[in-house]
Chain A
């Protein structure tokens, strides 16, 4: 019995160890394939090395496909078919990619060829040197000058030449050594000839440089070397200048200073995703003027212009309270709650009693349900600032709601909407199709151009358009859809809600103000 039990345990251990080895082998294969794939999230890491969730999922797919019996080539092909060759860390050696593989070798080869040519020419010049006959006149002069102890600096047409002076000194020392018996006759003759040859070459060069109008060299085509010498520096200068300008322009468009913490460091040029930076047209100017422009744009819902204007202000004063408050409201409407809260906090840090920021932050916290106490605190501070009236009562009502049900009710209070029809003047009939978008706007009665309470957006409207505007359409989450309200509508012809053109059909309801629950509200666009 004991033997049977022992055998069973050994068998189990064997099976487990075989399984463990198999798992290890599979993981090695997964790792080998994953290390050749580029992670789509971090991009500079392989799928094997990346800690991203996507990389984990991709490793899981590799593992599964290996278990299904697919070869590494098939698995690589699968990922290439989904993400293109981009997904391979090492680009395949065909087509344009070949340059990546071949260019380093080509450059290395070119370097070797150049070095070989240079060495060959250099050694040939050295070998050829003894064969060059020396100019007897120059040799005579060199010997005469070498005999003079006061050279360099002696009288003459050419300026003092230190190198020639050094060679003459060497020649004189050579004579001294020979007389002292330190040199054999053969060595003396060889060294003397070498120094004299060097001195003659040097003298010829200095004579050529000193001549006022040198004769053209007959060993080269007339003017060829001179022309080359002249244009080469100019060409280099042009190449460097063009390179500098190109680099400067590209860098200037690719990188720019951050205008705020929500901003990206890369520009629209590079990624197509960055918000507009301070270096863009229209971003400079007077901050007060920009703030006014932004507020106007915000009122007429031209958020693109509004954002640009507020960015201008914030570019010059990142803590500007009003610009931050408005920016927070724009961000909140776009769903960027965290960024909105950051902007509102910046506004409140400088002006703690800024009612606009208190209201916006209180409403965001209330609507998000993440911090009912914070919402209550901000709205209570706002309540304390407001004079008695409708607004104060509305804030008080919201504070009461926080106490009752902190996470619910605000999104869609059960209040009736407003229903009706928008008609288009026949004169504008051609403008309704295509990209056109109809906006139906409700503002608190008598608010004039103030921020809208609710907006309905209807793309490609077919007039007459029936509409209903209700609590679901309020701009600022949490605001109650309550009357009396002024109703108006406009047709945006280009379909881009962030721009407004002159002469676009617009109109208001003749029976303004209306109360929620009203039906048959007719708006004529003229």
Chain B
């Protein structure tokens, strides 16, 4: 019986990804924060109440963020006024971040989280990491890694309707530094 128990524990250990950190935030209120954008304006999440918000944590050194950038910008261009994309650059220099924004022609709002407070507030561990926030200010879905465009569209629609996803999504991502 002891051997069986050890084997079961061993099997369980192999099945789970030891680096994956499940988030307790999905379904709860999105932590409020204010951020200075690269254009010098201040954005506060609570001011965006009533709109569907996509928070995207990224860094210029993160390869999956580069792979995702064009898709994200294309998706942003298709959105109406009721949707806001907010890029949060972490663990990066301002110059590199601006170069990235310029390289991929990103037009949605982006700001920097210089001391990591917003990142920790959102339990960020692998980037890109996206949080979908409903118009009522609730996190409806979290995706670690690049969000495939069809999932992005579907989850934005769910967020718009304040429908919380049972599971978090996962794709190709890079650990933060």
Q: B3 contacts which of A239, A250, A271, A460 (Cβ < 8 Å)?
A: A239
* Residues from chain B with Cβ under 8 Å of A411 in the complex: 103
- CB-based contact B176/A54 at 8 Å: yes
- CB-based contact B24/A84 at 8 Å: yes
Contact-size category for A? 35 or more
- CB-based contact A82/B25 at 8 Å: yes
Which A40-59 residues sit within 8 Å CB-CB of chain B? 40-41, 43, 52-54, 57-58
Is A428 an interface residue when CB atoms closer than 8 A count as contact?
A: no
Is A520 an interface residue when CB atoms closer than 8 A count as contact?
A: no
Given contacts A82-B24, A84-B24, A250-B14, contact A459 B149 (CB under 8 A): yes
- CB-based contact B25/A459 at 8 Å: no
Nearest CB in chain A to that of B91: its residue: A53
* Residues from chain B with Cβ under 8 Å of A459 in the complex: 74-75, 78, 149-150, 153
Which B155-177 residues sit within 8 Å CB-CB of chain A? 170, 172-173, 175-177
Given contacts A53-B91, A246-B11, contact A336 B24 (CB under 8 A): no
Is A83 an interface residue when CB atoms closer than 8 A count as contact?
A: yes
B177 to chain A, nearest CB (A): 4
* Residues from chain A with Cβ under 8 Å of B19 in the complex: 43, 271
* Residues from chain B with Cβ under 8 Å of A87 in the complex: 21
A54 to B113 Cα, complex, angstroms: 12
- CB-based contact B17/A270 at 8 Å: yes
Is B84 an interface residue when CB atoms closer than 8 A count as contact?
A: no
A23 to chain B, nearest CB (A): 19
* Residues from chain A with Cβ under 8 Å of B14 in the complex: 250-251, 254, 270
Most buried by A among B19, B23, B66, B119: B19
A81 to B67 Cα, complex, angstroms: 31
Q: B177 contacts which of A41, A239, A334 (Cβ < 8 Å)?
A: A41
Which B103-118 residues sit within 8 Å CB-CB of chain A? 103, 105, 115-117
Is B95 an interface residue when CB atoms closer than 8 A count as contact?
A: no
Q: A82 contacts which of B4, B120, B170 (Cβ < 8 Å)?
A: B120
Is B40 an interface residue when CB atoms closer than 8 A count as contact?
A: no
| 10 residue pairs A–B, Cβ–Cβ below 8 Å | A83-B125, A84-B21, A84-B23, A239-B4, A250-B11, A250-B15, A254-B14, A270-B14, A272-B170, A273-B145
Is B18 an interface residue when CB atoms closer than 8 A count as contact?
A: yes
Interface string of A271-314 (1 = CB under 8 A from B): 11100000000000000000000000000000000000000000
* Residues from chain A with Cβ under 8 Å of B74 in the complex: 457, 459
Which B55-71 residues sit within 8 Å CB-CB of chain A? 63, 66-67, 69
> Which B residues are closer than 8 A to A by beta carbons?
3-4, 7, 10-11, 14-15, 17-25, 63, 66-67, 69, 74-75, 78, 91, 103, 105, 115-117, 119-123, 125, 145, 148-150, 153, 170, 172-173, 175-177
Is A495 an interface residue when CB atoms closer than 8 A count as contact?
A: yes
Interface string of A54-88 (1 = CB under 8 A from B): 10011011000000000000000001111110110
* Residues from chain B with Cβ under 8 Å of A250 in the complex: 10-11, 14-15
- CB-based contact B122/A82 at 8 Å: yes
- CB-based contact A460/B66 at 8 Å: no
Specify the main secondary structure of chain A where it touches its partner: helix
Is A472 an interface residue when CB atoms closer than 8 A count as contact?
A: yes
Given contacts A82-B24, A82-B120, contact A495 B3 (CB under 8 A): no
Give the 6 A-B CB pairs with smallest separation, nearest first.
A57-B116, A335-B66, A82-B123, A250-B14, A495-B150, A40-B125
- CB-based contact B115/A246 at 8 Å: no
A57 to B3 Cα, complex, angstroms: 43
* Residues from chain A with Cβ under 8 Å of B78 in the complex: 459
A330 to chain B, nearest CB (A): 12
* Residues from chain A with Cβ under 8 Å of B105 in the complex: 472
B34 to chain A, nearest CB (A): 16
* Residues from chain A with Cβ under 8 Å of B3 in the complex: 239, 243
- CB-based contact B17/A54 at 8 Å: no
Nearest CB in chain A to that of B122: its residue: A82
Is A437 an interface residue when CB atoms closer than 8 A count as contact?
A: yes
A459 to B72 Cα, complex, angstroms: 12
- CB-based contact B7/A84 at 8 Å: no
- CB-based contact B153/A335 at 8 Å: no
